[in-house]
Amino acid sequence: MTITIKTGADIAALRIAGRLASEVLDMLTPHVKPGITTEALDKLAHDYIVNVQGAIPAPLNYQPPGYTPYPKSICTSVNDVICHGIPDGRALKNGDIVNIDVTVIKDGWHGDTSRMFVVGEGSIAAKRLCALTYEAMWKGIAKVKPGAHLGDIGHAIQTFVENAGFSVVREFCGHGIGQVFHEEPQVLHYGRPGTLDVLVPGMVFTIEPMVNAGQRHMREHNDGWTIKTKDRSLSAQWEHTLVVTETGYEVFTLSDGSPPPPAFINT
């Protein structure tokens, strides 16, 4: 298996899919308030993707080998849920943190992005975890340019996170993406500089670090999908889809409602 290199036409299509995925998060943002259920957020997202965007929610019925079909259109991962939380009838409450992960398919191409939301007034600790994880994602993105190695990305994220006293989840990673939801390469959020694949223009992948306030270890819920922290500490995640360009990178999953990059990114 090899890493596919996207053409100019592929990249134009991915740019559209990426923006659409981000715009779903923009649409959801005013609804992420105490009292709303994650199932209600799922329905809002599903109907918007299908009826307004003319796109497909990639998670719905997605079934990687060894999994049961995913039953919803987005992932909603609350508090100690690391990833793949399934929307349900429980209401968000003041102080919760929730990751909303959206993947759309438009004209056959995927856009995959997630953001953290603090519901109502969050604790200082919760807000710090969310902000630090956002910066960790961008520490990884900042390494992307031709000639860099995948290990440079993982190392930048891991050192930043661990120097702050938090931990990086190892069992899940970023991924190549295109006409296939999850393809090569795996993009680890930990590692050593100068290791793994060399980046070349036209590679498209996600960077989506999961950061725990406590230890890095996870446990699987018996619903076959939900992943939680073993020690029940809070967990945060952010995700962008991007392409390696001749001079660096272009992030596809941006829209009017995207938070600005951190100050260490020169745009």
Q: Provide the binding-site residues for Co ion, judged by CB under 5 A.
A: 101, 112, 206, 239
What are the tokens at 168? 């990086």
Least separation in angstroms between CB 108 and ligand MF3: 17
CA distance 22 to 42: 15
N-term to C-term CA, the chain: 35
Which does residue 80 bind out of ligand MF3, Co ion, none, counting CB within 5 to 8 angstroms by kind? Answer: none
Least separation in angstroms between CB 17 and Co ion: 13
Which does residue 249 bind out of ligand MF3, Co ion, none, counting CB within 5 to 8 angstroms by kind? Answer: none
DSSP, collapsed to helix, strand or coil, labels residue 44 as helix
Of the candidates 24, 46, 239, 243, which one interacts with ligand MF3 according to CB under 6 A? Answer: 239
Of the candidates 36, 43, 44, 62, which one interacts with ligand MF3 according to CB under 6 A? Answer: 62
Other beta carbons less than 10 A from residue 61's beta carbon: 12
The residues, ordered by sequence, that sit 6+ positions from 38 with a Cβ below 8 Å of its Cβ are: 76, 78, 85, 87, 88, 90, 92, 98
Q: Write the interaction track for ligand MF3 spanning residues 200-219; mark x where CB under 6 A is met and - where it is not.
A: ------x-x-----------
Least separation in angstroms between CB 258 and ligand MF3: 16
Which does residue 161 bind out of Co ion, ligand MF3, none, counting CB within 5 to 8 angstroms by kind? Answer: none
Are the beta carbons of 21 and 102 closer than 8 angstroms?
Answer: yes
Least separation in angstroms between CB 189 and ligand MF3: 12
Least separation in angstroms between CB 226 and ligand MF3: 9
- The one-letter code for the residue type at 60 is L
The residues, ordered by sequence, that sit 6+ positions from 142 with a Cβ below 8 Å of its Cβ are: 156, 264, 265
Residue closest to ligand MF3 when measured from CB atoms: 59
Which does residue 62 bind out of Co ion, ligand MF3, none, counting CB within 5 to 8 angstroms by kind? Answer: ligand MF3
Least separation in angstroms between CB 208 and ligand MF3: 5
* 70 forms part of the interface with ligand MF3 (CB under 6 A): yes
> What secondary structure does DSSP assign to 103-156, as a single string?
EEEETTEEEEEEEEEE-SS--HHHHHHHHHHHHHHHHHHTT-STT-BHHHHHHH
Residues forming the site for ligand MF3 (CB under 6 A): 59, 62, 70, 75, 84, 101, 103, 112, 206, 208, 225, 239
